[in-house]
Structures are given as structure tokens and as C-alpha cells.
Amino acid sequence: MKDALLVLSGGMDSVTLLYDRAADIALAVSFDYGSNHNDKEIPFARMHCEKLGIPHITIPLKFMHDYFTSSLLSGADAIPEGTYADENMKSTVVPFRNGIMLSVAAGLAESRDLKRVMMANHFGDHAIYPDCREEFVKNMSAAISAGTYANITIDAPYTNISKADIARKGKALGLDYSETWSCYKGGKIHCGKCATCLERKAALAEAGINDTTEYEA
């Protein structure tokens, strides 16, 4: 019985989870919070849901763009280049983004008589994004459970595995990762130089996947 709602961005990780746990997912939800790359990600999220026959909705959270501070909300030129190990990548943190999205998703799940909210955070996210860490997931799940009649919980199965591990799952599932979006700059094609592009390249290479993503020269 399908009892889960998936927070689906349209990136590698959440699209993999969509296919990995399709038998459990009753609804997928994307959030348009005004990031540089929302317009690139969300169409992929919608397309994959259509392929699988899973209902998909997009919820606007534009107030985050209007009131929060992050280079992810400030245009392509604001996105630093380099790896996630670089100090300047902290500028891409959108304050409490996952907390806000999971709260909305929990309310939506309870409204649809669902029991779980799924998210595709992974181990590589932990160092830079506080709302991707295991401690956050555990405590947020407890708060959502306590705050809902249905005792809804967060299901985050990729929390302690790497992006390359996720890519390996996708490879086994036959996924075409060119039908996902990663680049934080949100240009016509992936820039190939921001941290999320570099992470994407490394994960696909480690998983032995031929990377057919189109990158800037």
C-alpha cells in the first residue's frame, strides 16, 4: 500500500529515490522557492512522475526568495565555483530550507492520509548543510510525529550513503541522469564548475556511468 510522500527536486538524488521506492510513493511534491535552478529542476521532476504514473504537484514558496539570504537565490553570478570543501560554498545554504519544506510536506501528507515523508539527503550533504544531517532528520522526524495525529515520520534512506552510492543505485535501475538537473547557476546547460556540478561529475565517474550531461566548455 502506497503510504509515502516524496519531496522531489528533479535532481539526481531525489529522482533516484523516486524510482527506487516507486512502490511506496503515493504523491511527489516539488517546491518552487525561487532558486536559480528551480525552473530547470522541476520539469524533470514532473516528467519522471508522469513516466511512473505518480501524482506530482508543485507548491510555491517564493517568500523564501524574497526574504532569505543565499547565493542560491541571488542569480547565477552569485554562485561560487569550486568544491564543497571550499569555505565560500556556505553561501549556497538556504536557511532552514529542508525544515520548511518538510513541515509543508508533513501537513500535505496528513491531509492525504499518508504516513511518511521521504527525502533524499545524503552523506555528502552533511558537512555544509545543517538540515541534511542525521541529527536534524532524527529530531525533525520526532517533531513531525509529535505534531501530527497520524504520527507521520521522515524516511531518509540515503542519509548515510554517498552520492556515488546513489548513482550506483540509479545505474542498477537503468536511470538516464542526463534527465536530471544539478547546476546551481541554472543556465541553459550545466556550468560544470560549481560545487554541485563537480560533485555530479565525480559521483557518476565513481559509479562507472558515462556522463552524457551537457556542460559548458
**Does 75 count as an annotated binding residue?**
no
Taking alpha carbons only, the member of 173, 169, 163 closest to residue 200 is 163
- HEC string of 153-198? EEECCCCCCCHHHHHHHHHHHCCCHHHCCCCCCCCCCECCCEHHHH
**Does 12 count as an annotated binding residue?**
yes
**Does 1 count as an annotated binding residue?**
no
**Does 174 count as an annotated binding residue?**
no
CA 20 to chain centroid: 14
**Does 132 count as an annotated binding residue?**
no
Name the residue type at position 5.
L
**Does 8 count as an annotated binding residue?**
yes
Task: For residues 92 and 103, give the distance between their C-alpha atoms in angstroms, rounded to a whole number.
Answer: 21
Task: For residues 53 and 149, give the distance between their C-alpha atoms in angstroms, rounded to a whole number.
Answer: 29
Taking alpha carbons only, the member of 87, 104, 90 closest to residue 29 is 104
**Does 141 count as an annotated binding residue?**
no
For the chain, how are helix, strand and coil distributed in percent, rounded to 5? 45, 10, 40
**Does 197 count as an annotated binding residue?**
yes
Report CA torsion sign: 47, 48, 49, 51: positive
**Does 204 count as an annotated binding residue?**
no
> What count of Cα atoms within 13 Å lies in the side-chain half-sphere of residue 96?
8
**Does 49 count as an annotated binding residue?**
no
**Does 15 count as an annotated binding residue?**
yes
> Which residues are annotated binding-site positions for Zn(2+)?
183, 191, 194, 197
> Which residues are annotated binding-site positions for ATP?
8-18
> Which residues are annotated binding-site positions?
8-18, 183, 191, 194, 197
